[in-house]
Amino acid sequence: MKKGMIKATGPFERVVHWCVALSCLFLCITGMAMMYHSLNVIGTLVGGMENLKVLHNYCGIFFAVSLLFTILMWWREAGLFSFPEDMQWIMAAGGYLWKVEKMPEVGKYNPGQKMFFLAVAIFGIVMVASGLIIWFPDGYTVDTLRLMYVLHALGFVVIFAFFFVHLYLVTIGAPGSAPAMFTGWVTRGWVKTQHPKWLKEMEKDGTLIVYGEGKYRK
């Protein structure tokens, strides 16, 4: 670890992030394997489609618990938009699609990250609720079950699409972002460029932690 790196996330945050990410990815893959005959071969790896469905269902429970921790932990920072800077960031497309001379300053999470968080939170809840009804269909009408399948598929499409956008932005789109969820540390230059308002807030509050220097003091 290089001296001067800034702490962006704690161990628990990273564990929750990867629990949600990996369980979500597993659910998407197993869900597609059950939906498309061409991917049924994935079921043979676990002894058949029945076993795959069992793994899918119980992974859904793991995802639901991880999602609950995600919402409770990040709702205040990533679930609420700050105006007018967030709207200005959106109007400038975050500087990803065209060159912007001066980007509006954003906090710990930019509007793009907030939209991804809300998509996962809202449609994650939709998928958990619809999945439970599909798993335990007794007492529900045929029309209700059909609706649950539609909602389940809709949640998959939305989250899967956002997943690839998120993957692009934390790698090619905004180089230097990935270490925040691998080691928990990022460079000062990255924070100053991507989240300048957050850097100023940490310096002002004395909560900035710099590797090799301890906690920042004004």
Residue 52 has pLDDT above 90, yes or no: yes
Residue 213, in any domain of the structure: no
pLDDT digits (tens, 9 = 90+) for 204-216: 888 899 987 766 5
Instruction: For strands 209-210 and 214-215, give the pairing.
Output: antiparallel
Q: Which pLDDT belongs to residue 214? A: 61
3-state secondary structure of 153: helix
Residue 204, in any domain of the structure: no
Residue 65, in any domain of the structure: yes
* Distance (Å, whole) CA 8 – CA 117: 17
Residue 210, in any domain of the structure: no
Q: Which pLDDT belongs to residue 172? A: 81
Q: Which pLDDT belongs to residue 19? A: 97
Would you say 199 and 208 are in contact if contact means Cβ atoms under 8 Å apart? yes
* Distance (Å, whole) CA 5 – CA 126: 38
Residue 103, in any domain of the structure: no
Give the CATH number of the domain where residue 53 resides. 1.20.950.20
Domain of 71 in residue numbering reads as 6-85+109-187
Mean pLDDT of the chain: 90
Instruction: Answer whether the bond into residue 11 is a cis peptide, omega within 30°.
Output: no
Would you say 113 and 167 are in contact if contact means Cβ atoms under 8 Å apart? no
Would you say 211 and 185 are in contact if contact means Cβ atoms under 8 Å apart? yes
pLDDT digits (tens, 9 = 90+) for 118-148: 999 999 999 999 999 999 999 999 999 999 9
pLDDT digits (tens, 9 = 90+) for 64-89: 999 999 999 999 889 888 888 889 88
* Distance (Å, whole) CA 36 – CA 188: 46
Residue 91, in any domain of the structure: no
Domains identified in the chain, total number: 1
Residue 95, in any domain of the structure: no
Residue 211, in any domain of the structure: no
Q: Which residues of 69-85 are buried (b: 16+ CB within 10 A; e: fewer)?
A: bbbeebeeebeeeeeeb
Of 156, 140, 142, residue with least CA distance to 26 = 156
